[in-house]
Amino acid sequence: MRIFFASLFALGSVVAIAQRGITPSDIYRLKSVSDPQVSPDGKLVAYVLSTPDSAKDKSDADIWMINWDGTESVKLTASKEGESRPRWSPDGKYLTFMSSRYETKSSQIWRMDRRGGEAEKLTDLKYSISDYVWSPDAKKIALVIQDQESSDEAEKKKTTKPIMIDRYHFKSDGEGYMERKRNHLYVFDVETKKIDTLTRGDFDEGNPVWSPDSKKIVFVSNRTADPDRNGNTDLWVMEAKKGAAIKQLTTWQDSDTSPAWSADGKWIAYLKSQTPEYDIYDQPQLALIPAEGGTPKILNAKLDRDISAPRWAVDSKSVFVSVEDDRRSYVASFDLEGSMTKHTSGDRTFAGLQRGANNTWVGLSSDPATPNEIYVLENMAIRRLTHIHNDFLKPLVLATAEGFSSKSKDGTIVNSLLYWPANQPKDKKLPLILWIHGGPTSQDDFSFDFIPQVFAAQGYAVATVNYRGSNGRGMAYSRAIFADWGNKEVMDLLGAVDYLIATGRVDAAKLGIGGWSYGGILTDYVTATDPRFKAAASGAGSALQLSMYGSDQYIAQYENELGVPWKNMDKWMKVSYPFLNVEKIKAPTLYMVGEKDFNVPAAGSEQMYQALKSLGVPTQFVVYPGQHHGISVPSYQKDRLTRYLEWYNKYINKEELKDKLPPKK
């Protein structure tokens, strides 16, 4: 077999011409790489590259491929509809992907001969496929398909039928109102094109993984009496044929997810929650169970950090994972006795791990000066494989990102990042923007972050603070805010600001604040607590938390963490203090939201906008049409960044920064 490459990939280093700082318009030049997949012989890596298209005002995802030494790359697909989920057939003959390309009415699997040529449609179903997995013998494919109308049936109807809801959890961002349409498993025979139904019922199945002998499938499902009311998922296993019996492998009352079958067929590694009740602050553990069932064993019992994506070594003697650890993430492995080996280090992040040939690995890695690229991990060393962002970085001079630690008023040590504008002396006192991450269970880390870079390019120092509730510092640190929102987080955020002021690097009279999602929520908490901030930007946030009950998608969290409002009104009023104390907010505040956001609905921003408007505090409210919680349209992304800058410049640094904004187009 041979492959023809259409272009030679230039490797040289980025030329440091330092022409300008990053601007909102650079969002059109920033590509996104994801989902690297190594061919069975280890010679090629397929991946998805998403490129913004300013003319069409959307991003187009295509499949690319690069050889193992990184010297040659080729674009494999170019349809206007986009492609995703590249997967190699285990026999190495084909590369498959998902797409609704070329007027196909639903998302199907397409197959491309490794030797070259146009892709052919492998499946031709009336319904969209959500996910798929090749069997190890390359004869079958497990499919995940959600119950739905076929595209043909939908086209015949002039009026959309009413949505009937009878579920406890009845809405979800992106999905909308949730009927009883479930995800089920099917198996597709590659040669005969026959499809068999594996599972049915009023529950969802997902994350299918084949056994090494291609006879069985392990999958994840919540089969409790009312799955909407808890966080339970268990591992189940069945023969990959119609009518086969289903066996329950795990019985933990909360979450068991992400199964990975060892190559020798003896074990299944997976992620197991620690707390028995639904808990968003839970930190999964790496568990191991015999493939035939038995008592699980925890492999990372001594590591109090978030882990993800278990992947077996080729010899079935160890399991590799990604670990989030205090502003960094690294690759580690655990042997079957629980002994850990750390494989990567440094001020960077590493995720999306996939095994290559001979126990080599690929993944996505980033640092503050470099957006995600594909890296190879071999012989205990990492090597950069792709150089996708060379052209993006070439004309830019970026801010530096340095770690710092502050002490909150209760003595808690908080670890954060400070972005410092390029070519600014370290002893200069700068205006500060406190930019708050969402979640709260995520972390600001040593990866490339577009928004702080844009702010810093306009002369601001930018602090990103890992307040309590964040990942990366252990489960107790994350769970410290349980049913106590807006207390310890605000203490930590203000402690970091006070520290930076005390160092003489930040101008106490020129403070700004902002964030999106929980970052927007915390913006309201902080400005209702501290009047020092001259400008605020609260994106996709809420403040009257009582009004979010039944309005957003977090019903399970609310009732488990705060209880129902009619029995626990004191708790609900306590966490609603930004709205109830809105008269204390003096900062001119910009509110933003996606029109179709079911994660944090527009009402949360509308209420605060209306309150500040009534009080005479300068405010604006921006709604992005058709957008969900994440703003995906490139022109809207640019617009949001531009509005941030205009708002901060107007109220924080009128004279010094008014001429630095890029011109409107």
Confidence at residue 11, expressed as pLDDT on a 0 to 100 scale: 37
Please, which pLDDT band fits residue 453 given cuts at 50, 70 and 90? very high
- The number of beta carbons lying within 10 Å of the beta carbon of residue 654 is 9
Sequence-separated (6 or more) residues with CB below 8 Å from residue 219: 185, 199, 205, 206, 207, 208, 209, 235, 236, 237, 238, 259
Burial class (CB in 10 A: 0-12, 13-18, 19+), 416: buried
Please, which pLDDT band fits residue 150 given cuts at 50, 70 and 90? low
- Tell me the mean pLDDT in the region 123-142: 95
Confidence at residue 481, expressed as pLDDT on a 0 to 100 scale: 97
Confidence at residue 464, expressed as pLDDT on a 0 to 100 scale: 98
- Annotate 473-494 with DSSP letters as a single string: S-HHHHHTTTT-TTTHHHHHHH
Confidence at residue 149, expressed as pLDDT on a 0 to 100 scale: 66
- Annotate 111-168 with DSSP letters as a single string: EEETT-S--EE----SS-EEEEEE-TTSSEEEEEEE----HHHHHH-SSPPPPP---S
The amino acid at 597: D
Percentage of the chain exceeding pLDDT 90: 86
Read off the DSSP letter of residue 92: S
Helix (H, G, I), strand (E, B) or coil at 361: strand
Contact 465, 45 (CB under 8 A): no
Give the gyration radius of the chain's Cα atoms. 25
- Tell me the mean pLDDT in the region 417-436: 95
Helix axes 488-502, 518-527, angle to 10 degrees: 70
Q: Which two tokens stand for residue 245?
A: 């019996």
Confidence at residue 34, expressed as pLDDT on a 0 to 100 scale: 97
Contact 592, 604 (CB under 8 A): no
Residue 471 has pLDDT above 90, yes or no: yes
Residue 396 has pLDDT above 50, yes or no: yes
Q: Edge-to-edge, what's the strand order for the sheet holding 340-342?
A: 306-312, 318-325, 328-335, 340-342
Please, which pLDDT band fits residue 8 given cuts at 50, 70 and 90? very low
Among residues 490, 451, 447, the alpha carbon closest in space to that of 469 is found at 490
Among residues 284, 252, 253, the alpha carbon closest in space to that of 271 is found at 284
Residues 497-517 have pLDDT tens digits of 999 999 999 999 999 999 999
Confidence at residue 13, expressed as pLDDT on a 0 to 100 scale: 44
Q: Which two tokens stand for residue 527?
A: 């400005």
Q: At which residue do the structure tokens 């300068």 appear?
A: 618
Omega cis (within 30) before 276: no
Q: Give the C-alpha distances (Å, rounded to integers) separating 394 from 253, 369, 398, 553, 664.
A: 52, 11, 11, 42, 23
Confidence at residue 118, expressed as pLDDT on a 0 to 100 scale: 87
Confidence at residue 174, expressed as pLDDT on a 0 to 100 scale: 87
Between 309 and 588, the higher pLDDT residue: 588
Confidence at residue 423, expressed as pLDDT on a 0 to 100 scale: 87
Confidence at residue 288, expressed as pLDDT on a 0 to 100 scale: 98
Contact 368, 448 (CB under 8 A): yes
Residues 597-656 have pLDDT tens digits of 999 999 999 999 999 999 999 999 999 999 999 999 999 999 999 999 999 999 997 645
Strand residues in 159-230 grouped as ranges (E): 171-172, 176-177, 183-189, 195-197, 205-210, 216-221
Segments making up each domain of the chain, as ranges:
398-529+587-643
Sequence-separated (6 or more) residues with CB below 8 Å from residue 541: 515, 516, 517, 518, 519, 520, 521, 523, 524, 591, 600, 604, 605, 608
Whole-number average pLDDT of the chain: 92
Total-model pTM: 0.92
Sequence-separated (6 or more) residues with CB below 8 Å from residue 173: 553, 597, 598, 599, 628, 629
Strands 535-539 and 506-516: parallel
Query: Which helix (H) or strand (E) covers residue 454, if one does?
Result: helix 450-457
Confidence at residue 152, expressed as pLDDT on a 0 to 100 scale: 54
Strands 381-384 and 370-378: antiparallel
Q: Give the C-alpha distances (Å, rounded to integers) separating 193 from 215, 239, 446, 616.
A: 18, 19, 47, 66
- Tell me the mean pLDDT in the region 221-237: 94
Q: Give the C-alpha distances (Å, rounded to integers) separating 440 from 273, 324, 519.
A: 18, 15, 8
Q: Edge-to-edge, what's the strand order for the sheet holding 506-516?
A: 400-407, 413-420, 461-465, 430-436, 506-516, 535-539, 589-594, 619-624
Q: Which two tokens stand for residue 644?
A: 């941030």
The total number of residues written for the chain in this structure: 665
Query: Domain 398-529+587-643: which CATH class?
Result: alpha beta
**Per mean pLDDT, which range of 178-182, 542-546, 642-646 is the poorest?**
178-182
Read off the DSSP letter of residue 105: S
